[in-house]
Amino acid sequence: MELAQRVNRIKPSPSTAAAQRVRALKEQGHEILDLTVGEPDFDTPDHVKAAAIEAIGRGETKYTPVNGTPQLRAAIADKLARRHGLHYPTDRITVGGGAKQIIYLALTATLNAGDEVVIPAPYWVSYPDMVLANDGTPVVVPCPEADGFKLTPQRLESAITDATRWVVLNAPNNPTGAAYSTHELRALADVLLAHPRVQVLTDEIYDEIWYEPGLPPTIVAVEPRLADRVFLTNGVSKTYAMTGWRIGYGAGPAELVGAVNTLQSQISSCPSSISQAAATAALTGDQGFIRDCVDVYRARRDRTVKLLTDIPGLTCTAPSGGFYLLVGCAGLLGKRTAAGQLISDDQEFARHLLESQRVAVIHGAAYGAPGYFRISFATSSAVLTESCERIARACAELS
């Protein structure tokens, strides 16, 4: 079977591959402490599950509109108005099988061969491959820790060319947890206003998992003149522990939303009717679940950062949002294991943690961040504490 070039030029998701590796080792009988999983370890709230069961009982098991049920789109519109003061009519909102699908379809709808997409690094692992799969060219812009892992206006200006079609802004960021201030978004918006062909794709899937005062701002609220050029994406997966329900959404220009709807009509017809009923309940119901989860995440974050920064050779900055830590291991690269194996890069370091101490992490180069590794603290405090103890032992083995 001869495969299409679009398949051959992309690779499997590194996070998915890491999870599969962990599952395989567990099936072989190994005890693995898994810090790779990018999903909450909490259960979906009971009232959300009840809404799904009730929808089944009412017979809401048929096709829905391609762009989602009116009830869910209204709930999304209410959230955007309440949280950011953004007022999107429901025909400018689309619902799909996860934010990942919505982002992919937006790129499918807009990219032609040779179009460039500016992707600040560290980045979520799927952005570059999504661009490649849609005939575009990813333009990765390194954003060092000295800049808070964030895109600066100078770096943005330097990255934009006549071929630039999109700039991706993921905040709070996976894997760093970094987010932009209103002042920082204002500076980026000023650059974008001078380049009217460039569109902005905002990935705000972690916006509710936030540890700082106030709310993380969004660029379209900071600069309303960009409204016709911003496609805002989000979903219920991370906020409400609904990763398996597969509901994401996008809000933006009517022409783009219509194109996404057309593509979805040919790909999946519509999102799951039952999942949409559950997502509606999540968005419109009691939000205390979010506050409780964030309190737990914050305690885990603070404890894990302290444990890791006490390990010689590792560095770690507490994230402002999300449930990941990007841990610097550059101080240990170039050393050798007790068996004499050279730890030449972050991928070898991650392999050493797995083979020596059975701790699974994802190497930073997968996120455009060589010299780092990512861990998820969406797991129990006991697992995090034991993992840090094992990581300390693995680091002490190197010389």
Q: What is the pTM of this model?
A: 0.96
Domain extent listing, the chain: 5-43+289-396, 46-284
Q: Which CATH architecture has domain 5-43+289-396?
A: Alpha-Beta Complex (3.90)
Per-block average pLDDT, block size 10, for the chain (399 residues)? 90 80 84 94 98 98 98 98 97 98 98 98 97 98 98 98 98 98 98 98 98 96 98 98 98 98 98 98 98 98 98 97 98 97 97 95 97 98 98 98
In CATH, what number does 46-284 get? 3.40.640.10
Q: What is the pLDDT of residue 379?
A: 97
Which ranges constitute the DSSP H helices of the chain? Answer: 5-8, 14-27, 46-57, 70-84, 99-110, 126-133, 153-159, 182-193, 219-222, 254-267, 273-284, 288-309, 346-357, 381-396
The pLDDT score that the predictor gives to residue 23 is: 83
Give the pLDDT score at 351: 94
| Cβ proximity of 150 and 184 under 8 Å | yes
Residues 6+ apart with CB under 8 A from 12: none
pLDDT computed for residue 263 by the predictor: 98
Give the dihedral of Cα atoms 93, 73, 202, 180; nearest 10 deg. Answer: 140
